[in-house]
Amino acid sequence: MDKTIRVALQEFKMNFSKNEYRFFAFFLPGVLLAIAILMAFTGKQFSLFEFELMRKSYYFFAFPSMIAMVFSLAIFLSANFMLQGIAKEKENKILEILISSVSFKQLLTGKIMGLAMLGLIQFFTWVLVGLAVVALVAPEIFQKAFTSYIATEAIFLYFIFFVLGYLLYASLLAAIGVLTETRGEAQQIGSLLTGFALIPALSTMFITSDSTSIYSQAITIFPLTAPITAMIRIFLRTITPGEIALSLALLIITTMFIIFATAKLFRAETLMYGKKFTILGLIRFVFKG
């Protein structure tokens, strides 16, 4: 079996058993589904007319807010496993042993693939539960949405932005794990990235009220905020094909560069063992090493 696949399967098995993963990937969606079944059993259902009234309500931003929070947490949960794993392996001196048996590229790629599988399971769990909830408590809305291709296109775009968002943050957190000395230090620096992911969720009210503003367009294009902002605007149906294309292009380019740079940093970590990193030295190593 290819070494990359072995690393991926090991990473998947190790993190799938974690309580925090199972809680968010299975328990919470299960609770939501149980509530929806109870509502449907008691005869409580929402009509299309009620939904249209809610769209005009000041509190309608709660819907895209929920989407932003759910997928932000899903992306960060899987990506944070990358940070924890690399930081722990480095702190315990296991990273050097792993790199002696697999290449830098195989190790990084395998970790990203393994954790990506966890992220995709979360994604599909929440999407399927979400569809089931809508079908149970708002069958009229469910039927209308799927009489056209709008809902299918939205789910496809959600999937693309989710995967790219995970890859971006996983590679960034991997780089942080390589550059820091302890798990505590890595988690402190990594938590700063959470701020970027939370910007769209905290801005939902503003995006909902004016989703075509310069601010909304800017955080749709900026790679660190693009995945969640795009999901919000896809839900609101205010994002243009041009914005989607530009946002995806920048996400792909940024992610590819960070993965390339992180692989270089893996190698630098071994070759410069015991030496202090400098910003200039890292930049030189990434581009010339």
The answer as to whether 260 is a domain residue is: yes
| Top-confidence residue, 27 or 3 | 27
Q: Look at residue 276 and tell me whether its pLDDT is greater than 60.
A: no
Q: What pLDDT does 222 receive?
A: 93
The domain tally of the chain equals 1
Q: Which two tokens stand for residue 281?
A: 């030295």
Q: Is residue 243 part of a domain?
A: no
Residue 200 to residue 181: CA distance in whole angstroms: 31
- pLDDT > 70 in the chain, percent: 82
Query: What is the per-residue pLDDT across 83-132, written as a single tens digit (0 to 9) for each?
Result: 888 777 777 777 667 767 777 778 888 888 888 888 889 888 988 898 88
What range does the domain containing 197 cover?
3-203+251-288
Instruction: Please report whether residue 242 resides in a domain.
Output: no
57: DSSP letter:
S
pLDDT at residue 217 tops 70:
yes
| CA dist., res. 157 & res. 228, Å (int) | 11
Nearest to 176 by CA among 86, 52, 70, 58: 86
CA 208 to CA 246: how far, in whole Å? 21
Q: Is 263 part of any domain?
A: yes
The answer to the question of residue 231 being in a domain is no
Nearest alpha-carbon partner for 244 in 257, 261, 256, 231: 231
Closest CA to 196 of 222, 175, 164: 222
Residue 245 lies in a domain: no
Q: Tell me whether residue 226 is in a domain.
A: no
Does a structural domain hold residue 72? Answer: yes
The reported pLDDT for the residue numbered 205 is: 80
Per DSSP (E only), the strands in 138-286 are none
pLDDT at 60 over 80: no
Give CA–CA dist 192/85, Å, rounded: 18
- Please give the angle made by the CA atoms of 108, 159 and 174, to the nearest 5 degrees: 20
The most confident of the ranges 28-32, 37-41, 264-268 is 28-32
pLDDT at 220: 92
